[in-house]
Structures are given as C-alpha cells and as structure tokens.
Amino acid sequence: MPPPGLRIRPAVPQDNHSKQRVVDAAWISGHGHLFPRSVERLLRGERPEETFSYEYPRDKGIPIVADIRGQVVGVIDLRPLPDGSLLIEPIAVDPAFQRHRVGSELWKAAETLARRRDYRALVVWAVDGNKKAQGFYASQGCTPFASGKVMFDGVEATATGYRLDLAQPAGMTPLNVDIQ
C-alpha cells in the first residue's frame, strides 16, 4: 500500500528546491556505490554536471511529483521523443519512502498520461549496477532494448535502456492522480 496521504500531481516551480533534494538523495541511494567521487562532490555542495539540476523549466518536459501532505517525496519527469515515445528522466523517490509504492504510483501516472496522449512507449535508462532501478523497471514490465556508455566525473559505466510498449489498453487506475 502507498503511504497514507500520497498524492500525485503536476510539479510547480515552488517544488524545485524539494525536487532537487529528493533527486540528489535518491541518486546517491542508487548510484553511490558506483560513483563515490560524484557523491563526495554532491555532499560538498558541488554539482557534478551529469546529475540533474532543476532550474525550472529544465526543458519542455512534463514534471510530476508525489507529495504527502505538502512534502515532496518523489519526482518523475517525462519528455517526448521524436519517435513517439516518452522518456522518463529522472524518476526518484526519497530514500526514506522507497519501497512503499511511491515509485509505482508515479509510474502509473506516467503510463496513464502516455496512453491518454497516444505515446507508443515509455523509455527509461539505468546505469548497470543500479539494482534498485533494475528491479523497479522489471516490476513495471519493462524490457531492455539498448545499451550505451555514460560518464560520471570521469568514471565510465554502461547503461541499459528499458522500454514499455503501450500497445495494450491500460488495466489500472492510478491513485489520486490529477494529471490530464
């Protein structure tokens, strides 16, 4: 069960500070063991250029947050790609709330929106070794379709692209979603 009071809603500029806190903490929780130097820099208040920065609006994406009574606990940003799919970048849940279905509710909101707007697939990338992301994307029915190299502070790693094709009608109703 998701935490009581969880609400999925469009992000507003006033959320940016909270979003940045959630994304940084989540990034460390998923990648810290792979990129210790980037973690040190983040904790020193520096910003490795590859980590996400919320200078709103970052791009023409669709920003969504999960909040519990006004506290942002999760973030998902969606960006249309030229091939008709929707890229998720990033998806992040406050480590204090991970494994409580917050990510799943954000994913449902993204999937519902994508289906309503006739996107053909959801696409997302994860660094190999980020077991949280790998387990989560598998749980959402994604399959790997591509791989590539990423670089964080001079450390090279492999990343895998996952996709969920949206040919089938949605079989789920999201919780408290007020995204159109």
In the chain the first and final C-alpha atoms are separated, in Å, by: 24
Q: Is the four-CA dihedral 130, 132, 135, 136 of positive or negative sign?
A: negative
CA angle 178, 123, 46 (to 5 degrees): 85
In the list 17, 37, 116, 131, the residue contacting ligand COA (rule: CB under 6 A) is 131
- The span from the CA of 4 to the CA of 10, in Å, is 19
Check residue 75 for interaction with ligand COA (CB under 6 A).
Answer: no
What does the block give as tokens for 6? 């969880």
Applying the rule CB under 6 A, the residues between 21 and 60 that interact with ligand COA are: 26-27, 29-30
Cβ distance to ligand COA smaller for residue 92 or 177: 92
Site size for ligand COA (CB under 6 A): 23
Task: Show the binding pattern over residues 91-110: x = contacts ligand COA (CB under 6 A), - = does not.
Answer: xxx----xxxxxxx------
Residues of this chain that interact with ligand COA (CB under 6 A) are 26-27, 29-30, 90-93, 98-104, 126, 130-133, 135-136, 139
